[in-house]
Amino acid sequence: MKYTLIVTEKPDAANRIATALDRDGKPKKSIQNGVPYYRAYRDGDIIVVPAIGHLYTITSKQKSRNYPVFDYHWVPRYKAEKKADRIRIWLRVISDLAKDAEKFVDGCDFDIEGSIIGYTILKYACGEKQDTAKRMKYSTLTTEELQIAYDNSLPHLDFTLVEAGLTRHEIDWLYGINLSRALTEATKAANGQYTTLSAGRVQGPTLRFLEKRERDIQTFVPSPYWRLTAKIKIDDKTYTGEYEKPPEILANAKMIQATSKTKTGTIDSVKSHETTVKPPVPFDLGSLQREAYKLFHYSPIRTSTILQHLYLDALISYPRTNSQKLPAAIGYKNILEKLQKDHTYTKQITELLTKSNLKPCEGKKSDPAHPAIYPTGNLAQKPLDTATKNIFDLVVKRFLAVFAQPAVRQNVNVAVNLNNNLFLFSLTQTLSEGWFRFYQPYVRVREDVIPLLSKGQPVEVLRVTLNTRYTEPKPRYNPRSLLLEMEKSEIGTKATRAAIIQTLHERKYLNGTEQLVVSELGFEVIGVLERYCPEVVSPEMTRSLEEKMEAICQGKESKQNVLADAVEILKKVTAELKVREGAIGTQLSLALKQLRANSRTVGTCSKCEGGQLVMLRSKMSGKRFVGCSNFFEGKCNVSYPLPQKGTVKPLWRYCRICGAPMVSVYLRGKKPWALCVDPQCNSKSTGN
């Protein structure tokens, strides 16, 4: 029996595609050696077989850990990764299914990663079928779109996207393997211990952003300034006015305060104007990640994971997109009518459907592969967990908001005269909700009660206050602001930026999740890279490579040229790192030693001078506990027990009840919790 073989990226996608294409919507599922695949019938027999992400990867042709490395090839992942033996069986099943297939279709996601996954499988596992295979292009996993994508398959693979993807992977591998080996081997030569350190063409500039901000914060010198405010009462409401021009000299500030002291002032001017607030533009991946962090404090990588699940469940369109545009072809009215069945959205959608013309407010950014993120109209067939429900609701309400009318706001600026000194305050309120009503509760705007105000109107003055303030440095990056910085600087891609931030955490280059603080190790790594190979931390170099890879997508540049340029840069960089290996190893070893010490220290001892409370393990029982560092000198015997299961990390803060240090405890499958190390602390009984 001959059939068409469709290769997909994930098992869930294979199931969706097979169900959509089968004549009866009931494909037959088979499992061979643990690998699922589906048989469907649609004008001929079809077999849909999934991958599990990337089945092929890049590895060095040489087996030693020496660097530089420029000789590489693509291989099945099980040949390069110790824990990927399952891939061997998976590829064998795909190869067996390919033997009797007469037609081949790449049904992977239509982006760089999906294109590479499909291309490598068709080339290596299916016997060089990459040149004859067709390509499905879709943005949602809905039945209708999948059927259209199959019936109108592109005649060949998206080779420019494949070429750009292969180039990106190979350049990233070259940078990653060479820079990481240089740092790791230098450290091992210096201290005899193997510790994985990494660097890369996107990691470097990203860490540089963080390091520069951290140094600016640490070297910032605050300057004093003075804030003069007046508490003013109008119609039983109190308002705070600020002196029109912040005084630069304390003596002047005191003089203004003294002359402003009066029981009654007058309104000097009232200026009112209306502002039209346009609806928001549709979500691209970056803006959705930033909004999810702002509203729910979900990390970018967590948001990406949730979006992928929603996409595979056919609830939203493909999430890894740069587009802020919604083409009419997606069927606005049809999507709204399907969403209308959910009572959560019925009222708003009913109002939208009365409009004679549904036209979205769109942004400037576009993506040739996919539109902006939007709900498909399908409703969840099973209850969503809280985080997934939040993200789905956010996507739906953003979709509704882009079709709504602008909001109208009234802004009133008031100047109050206190003995010829002007104090200013402003009030604002919404006159017409417009799209605000459709995006609730995610709209956060100030709403004031605006009283009747007129020039010359007397007001009661409660007090005039002078406060000393100090200038502050720019805040540390958080995941939201760092994503925005990466996007503005055009480093990384929509699909990789969140993973880069995650990697910096995993390598212990960063501390904190809300505010991203560069660790001592992070400082030393970026210091080494800046000193000996500044090119690899330069956003300009990374941006230039991104532009060249985009040119490959457009057929204006070749893979060979871009790789040759990258190799030339790396040859110079690795030569310099080789020469400086001893100094680099010593520098990084000291940072690692400090990192290990910090990872065990939970706080200072309150019962002895100079003691540090550190996590230790008993030589007798093997149990871990917290003990004072002065114990080894016979000066202090303070100790506290620790949980013996799970991962324990210092929190570097102290219990608000007893003052003992706090640690974080994590058991697999459960959320981490904060624990006071003192077993006698009242928090154990109060639940604090």
Which of these, 540, 537, 527, 539, lies nearest to 580 by C-alpha position? Answer: 527
Helices within 25-157 (DSSP H only): 86-99, 112-120, 143-151
How far is the C-alpha of 268 from the C-alpha of 58, rounded, in Å? 72
How far is the C-alpha of 156 from the C-alpha of 284, rounded, in Å? 28
Cis-peptide, bond into residue 375, ω within 30° of zero: no
Element (H, E) at 665: strand 661-666
Q: What residue type is assigned to position 528 of the chain?
A: V
Q: Which two tokens stand for residue 406?
A: 């602008």
Paired sense of beta strands 458-470 and 661-666, if any: unpaired
Q: Residue holding tokens 């077989």? A: 49
* CA distances in angstroms from 17 to 37, 125, 352, 613, listed in the order given: 11, 21, 32, 57
Residue 318 designated active-site? yes
- Which residue among 78, 175, 311, 318 is the active-site one? 318
Helices within 639-686 (DSSP H only): 683-686
Q: Which two tokens stand for residue 572?
A: 């110079």
How far is the C-alpha of 669 from the C-alpha of 354, rounded, in Å? 48
Q: Which two tokens stand for residue 345?
A: 């959205």
Q: Is 495 exposed, middle or buried (0-12, 13-18, 19+ CB in 10 A)?
A: middle
Distance of CA 299 to the CA centre of its chain: 6
Which of these, 208, 84, 52, 105, lies nearest to 525 by C-alpha position? Answer: 208
Element (H, E) at 509: none
Q: Which two tokens stand for residue 322?
A: 């740069």
Paired sense of beta strands 101-106 and 134-135, if any: parallel
Q: Is the dihedral of CA 307, 108, 321, 331 positive or negative?
A: negative
Q: What is residue 312's DSSP assignment?
A: H
**CB of 663 closer than 8 Å to CB of 642:** yes
Radius of gyration of the chain (CA): 31
How far is the C-alpha of 130 from the C-alpha of 134, rounded, in Å? 9
Which of these, 316, 314, 312, lies nearest to 285 by C-alpha position? Answer: 316
Q: Which two tokens stand for residue 656?
A: 């608000």
Helix and strand totals (H; E) in the chain:
19, 23
Residue 207, number of CB atoms within 10 A of its CB: 26
Q: Residue holding tokens 């690998």? A: 35
How far is the C-alpha of 365 from the C-alpha of 283, rounded, in Å? 10
Cite the active site residues. 318
